[in-house]
Structure 1
Amino acid sequence: MTAKAPGEDAELAAYRARVRAWLAEHTPEDWAEKLPYADETEVLEFYRTWARELHSAGLLVPQWPERFGGSGAGLAQQVVLQQEMSRAGAPRPRYLAISLGHAAATLMEHGSPEQQKLLDGILEGDVWCQGFSEPGAGSDLASLRTRAVREGDYYVVNGQKIWSSMGLYARWGLLLARTDPDAPKHRGISLFILDMRAPGVEVRPIRQATGAHEFAEVFLTDVRIPASMLVGKENEGWRLAQTTLATERYAQMVELHAGLEELLALLVRQARTLRAADGGPLVEDPEFRQRLAAFAGEVEVLGLINDRVLGDISAGRDPGARGSILKLYFSRLLQRLTAFGVRSNGLAAHVDPRRKNDLSYTSGDWMLDHIRSWTWTIAAGSNEIQRNIIGERVLGLPREPR
């Protein structure tokens, strides 16, 4: 029988059926149980191998243009792929998220032909990171102080970066550095491709509350970057960086929405064996049922908001502040739902499973998921920034003083 969702045309339904059949045959078994406890080298090799396998089936980067190794798939196909990977319980190449999204978008749009050759490495599983934030330049990224000074055919870079996702594992990095200290702060910044193995690059892992090392500090001491690795023109880095910041792809929200649905289903299963305060089954407790129903409604609303945003993008419209509403709504919902899961499971939720690696934001380990949920209040633009955007663009409130 052909898999078909309501409203799909025959071509999209055929694509869904092909993706579903391939995932049914190729999704690795027990990966979600094994990888959280595996060594980092084993995890990296797993994701590289899985990425190559997905690419051989045309499912790694179908949205990329054909000349770069994709198939030029539209938004509808990207959504179908996310839906079917969630349905199959297939691993996303999470360690390659920056490589496949932010880095690739920058190279394709602004990179030189020589720089674009690095896309081939991404398809082979090269990990990229971003050297954007600094200890004194987080939300106000344009205040960064890392310096790049031109010396002949090289730029000599000195400075420090922090919160570099996948920095510990990265082969390459996108680096923002100040090349004109006398220019207004947004206009004196350049964007570089950094060889993470170059002399003078020191990477120190940041141990998170979950025990994982997804983030890292990067120290740059007299690092020599070839001038050929300058992306675009000197001092235009701030404008170019917006490409990477704009590729927090809304299609990913399909995966995240599915993760919340899975958490709800898990909580229902657990509630059949958990006990309420009066000693009866938790699943029969009226207060628990009301809270659970309220969360189910909110998860449904999240899906509807995302559908509106995806509809805007599909029609060529900028979702504008609606994207900020979606991100703020999701991050708060994830926080509250995981907190509810922790309270519902009682002391059992406080047992440390001793995972080495974070593979998703919704693993079903309630306490780890709750701790991890707070990263979404910062990632892709902090919630404070999103509230400013909503207040100014939707509610018409006065702009924040500069």
Structure 2
Amino acid sequence: MTAVAAHEDLIAFRAEVRDWCRAHIPPDWRATQTGASSAEFAAFQRDWFQALRGAGYAVPHWPREWGGGLSVPRQVVLYQELAAHDAPRLVLAFVAIHHAAATLLAAGTDAQRNRHLPAILDGEIWVQGFSEPEAGSDLAALSTIAHRDGDEYVVSGQKVWASGAQYADWCLLLARTDPNAPKRKGISYFLMDMRTPGIDVRPIRQATGESHFCEIFLDEVPIPAANLIGAEHAGWQVAQRTLGAERGLTMLELSERLGNAGFRRLLESCARSNRQGRRPIDDPAVADRLAVFDTEITGLRALCLDLVQRHDRDAVGPADASIVKLYYSELLQRMTDFGAEIGGVAAHGVLRKPMSGGWESGAWVLDFIGSWEWTIPGGASEIQRTIIGERGLGLPREPVFGS
């Protein structure tokens, strides 16, 4: 395809996506999802996923034979238009279509892929069982134990910060199968059916009032040996494929949402008259902050697009994903903090936000509290800076105290 033909193809595809968004995005979804019950939230999420699936937009990053196959430029256009039209996020399907799918495609058996990928398209929900209370940011320090017993493994331990576990059908689980091996060498990776006896899911009520995160307690849970992903004790290497699914287009989607609806709502907040009858945007200091945010968003979008393009060429550097994650998470935090400042006391009285939205809903205090989900989990900002320094810039490794 010539450059001109490719450009025209993207123009036509953008028009197609725009028409679909205008026809299918529920215009009142923010109102109906604000204060929705857990059952209403789950039903809406499943319906929205199937609407996207019917259009071919639910899993554009998957291989064509599994229902995807959009080119990277088309995927970029798709996420740009969904963000521009303020579409709901695929909150419940996120782990399934990104983390679970990436793991199955990279390391799963044919039987595992044939069982789960079609089921995900039909609405199977997944949760990630990686983090543990005593491990902190050191994922390899996990202590959940799995021991072999005939044709199955028996697992005991605890996971925490498991997003959406109360809705999940299956879990991506890391457990230690060799307690005597170096900590990255003795971990195995399992697919765990969440309906198995011995699993206790306990939602954690957050400062926002939501219970997105959960604890998972495992008491002698049997997992068939056929549900092992990759080789025994080689789970750490497989987990890197799972974590790699957070790169690229997932960050592009989040950056587009922040730059479209998020920044638009921030502008609207600043243009609204306060109790004194003044508009914050008329203050030169406020206008200057908005201009800085606009510039930073432009930089974030450029970083994400560059990462996506290089990821498609298999040319991603060892610290590139950390750069994007750090930039996005801290910009999100600064913008939501500023929104809460502009909103003043009244912003603290907004106690609900749309359950199928993101971290840029315009309920600024709740958004700011939620923004900490990005600067701590998945590697805190301090860890991202260490990765950038050591792996990206080649600086000496940090000393290990007490060694």
Length-normalised TM-score, structure 2? 0.93
Residue identity matched to 1:251: L
* Alpha-carbon contact 2:88-2:356 (below 8 Å) kept: no
**Is 1:239 aligned with 2:263?**
no
How far apart are 1:216 and its partner, in Å?
0.5
Deviation track 1:115-149 (CA, whole Å, cap 9, x = no partner) reads 11111111111110011111111311111111111
Distance in 2 between residues matched to 1:324 and 1:33, nearest whole Å: 35
Percent identity reads: 47
RMSD of aligned Cα (Å): 2.0
How far apart are 1:76 and its partner, in Å?
1.4
Residue identity matched to 1:108: L
Counterpart in 2 of 1:178?
176
Counterpart in 2 of 1:215?
213
* Alpha-carbon contact 2:21-2:85 (below 8 Å) kept: yes
Q: Which consecutive unaligned segments of at least 5 residues does structure 1 have?
A: 1-5
* Alpha-carbon contact 1:276-1:282 (below 8 Å) kept: no
* Alpha-carbon contact 1:157-1:221 (below 8 Å) kept: yes
Q: Which consecutive unaligned segments of at least 5 residues does structure 2 have?
A: none
Residue identity matched to 1:105: A
Counterpart in 2 of 1:198?
196
Q: 1:241-280 to 2 correspondence within 5 Å?
A: 241-261=239-259, 262-275=261-274, 280=278
Residue identity matched to 2:107: H
Distance in 1 between residues matched to 2:285 and 2:23, nearest whole Å: 42
Aligned length: 395
Distance in 2 between residues matched to 1:394 and 1:246, nearest whole Å: 17
Counterpart in 1 of 2:365?
367
Given the superposition, is the C-alpha separation of residues 373 and 8 from structure 1 closer, same or farther in structure 2, using an over 3 Å criterion? farther
**Aligned pair partner of 2:83 in 80, 86, 89:** 86
Look up the SS of the partner of 1:94 in the other structure. coil
Deviation track 1:322-379 (CA, whole Å, cap 9, x = no partner) reads 3222211111111111111111121111113334836311111000110011111123
Given the superposition, is the C-alpha separation of residues 345 and 390 from structure 1 closer, same or farther in structure 2, using an over 3 Å criterion? same
**Is 1:102 aligned with 2:129?**
no
Length-normalised TM-score, structure 1? 0.93
Deviation track 1:182-225 (CA, whole Å, cap 9, x = no partner) reads 11111111111111110000000011111111110000001111
Distance in 2 between residues matched to 1:329 and 1:126, nearest whole Å: 32
Given the superposition, is the C-alpha separation of residues 160 and 350 from structure 1 closer, same or farther in structure 2, using an over 3 Å criterion? same
How far apart are 1:399 and its partner, in Å?
0.5
Question: Which of structure 1's runs of 4+ aligned residues deviate more than 6 A?
Answer: none
How far apart are 1:66 and its partner, in Å?
2.3
Counterpart in 1 of 2:52?
54
* Alpha-carbon contact 2:326-2:384 (below 8 Å) kept: yes
Given the superposition, is the C-alpha separation of residues 121 and 366 from structure 1 closer, same or farther in structure 2, using an over 3 Å criterion? same
Deviation track 1:280-299 (CA, whole Å, cap 9, x = no partner) reads 43221122112222222222
**Is 1:398 aligned with 2:378?**
no
Counterpart in 2 of 1:11?
9
* Alpha-carbon contact 2:72-2:309 (below 8 Å) kept: no
* Alpha-carbon contact 2:262-2:362 (below 8 Å) kept: yes
Residue identity matched to 2:99: H
Given the superposition, is the C-alpha separation of residues 182 and 255 from structure 1 closer, same or farther in structure 2, using an over 3 Å criterion? same
* Alpha-carbon contact 2:157-2:218 (below 8 Å) kept: yes
Residue identity matched to 1:155: Y
Distance in 2 between residues matched to 1:347 and 1:340, nearest whole Å: 13
Q: 1:3-402 to 2 correspondence within 5 Å?
A: 9-70=7-68, 72-116=69-113, 117-261=115-259, 262-275=261-274, 280-355=278-353, 357=355, 359-402=357-400
How far apart are 1:380 and its partner, in Å?
3.1
Given the superposition, is the C-alpha separation of residues 383 and 149 from structure 1 closer, same or farther in structure 2, using an over 3 Å criterion? same
Distance in 2 between residues matched to 1:24 and 1:264, nearest whole Å: 21
